[in-house]
Amino acid sequence: MTQLRIEFWFDFASTYSYLSAMRLDPLARAAGVGVTWRPFLLGPIFAAQGWTTSPFRIYPAKGRYMWRDMTRRTQALGLPLQQPDNLPQNSVLAARVAQLALGTPKGVAFCKSVYGAEFGQGRDIADPVVIRACLEQSGLPCDMIEAAQSDDNKRRLRRSVEEAMARGLFGAPSFTVGDELFWGDDRLEQALDWAVGHA
């Protein structure tokens, strides 16, 4: 029997992806659904839409609402929240390292550690010192940072972005079940239900 699966597409720069990353595993286990974590970058996707930055910066009212909403949501989930100084953060290094980390059993722990550092502590995830601390916290070797800069790994991330665009993704977090797309943290439960109901 093939295990039910969803793909979790996330950008470390995405605030709402923080919520999904921190609550996904127990919900998926309870539903009997496996999860494939898919790091990608929103920057090229936004650029294709003519945006030079996050819509939360382009539309200040939307940004103000987002942070108030994040405050409510993190309080309800019991998660820490500290707004980083520079948003959106440069998530390229974190995404490249995550690709390698997710090839190990400790990859999800690394991703959660990055989100915790960024939105739980307000740290800069473009800083290799922060990523090194996340690797250490997850029990992964720090030389993954250097390995993540290989040409092959860079091409791999570009291919993930191209695949995301080809599949119609336009924001994060997104969840795919086959060709079915669900966008936003508030669609996580629906994506899991779809995976179960359309096996």
- CATH code: domain of residue 81: 3.40.30.10
List own/partner pairs for 148-157 with CB under 8 A and 24 or more apart. Answer: 148/93, 148/96, 148/97, 148/99, 148/100, 149/96, 153/96, 153/99, 153/100, 154/96, 156/99, 157/39, 157/40, 157/41, 157/92, 157/95, 157/96, 157/99
List own/partner pairs for 192-196 with CB under 8 A and 24 or more apart. Answer: 192/6, 192/27, 192/28, 192/31, 192/33, 193/31, 195/4, 195/5, 195/6, 195/31, 195/33, 196/4, 196/31, 196/32, 196/33
Give the total number of structural domains in the chain.
1
Which of the following is catalytic: 14, 17, 20, 54? 14
Note if 14 is an active site residue: yes
Q: What is the pLDDT along the chain (199 residues), one digit of tens a residue?
A: 457 899 999 999 999 999 999 999 999 999 999 999 999 999 888 887 776 677 777 778 988 999 999 999 999 999 999 999 888 899 999 999 999 999 999 999 999 999 999 999 999 999 999 999 999 999 999 999 999 999 999 999 999 999 999 999 999 999 999 999 999 999 999 999 999 998 6
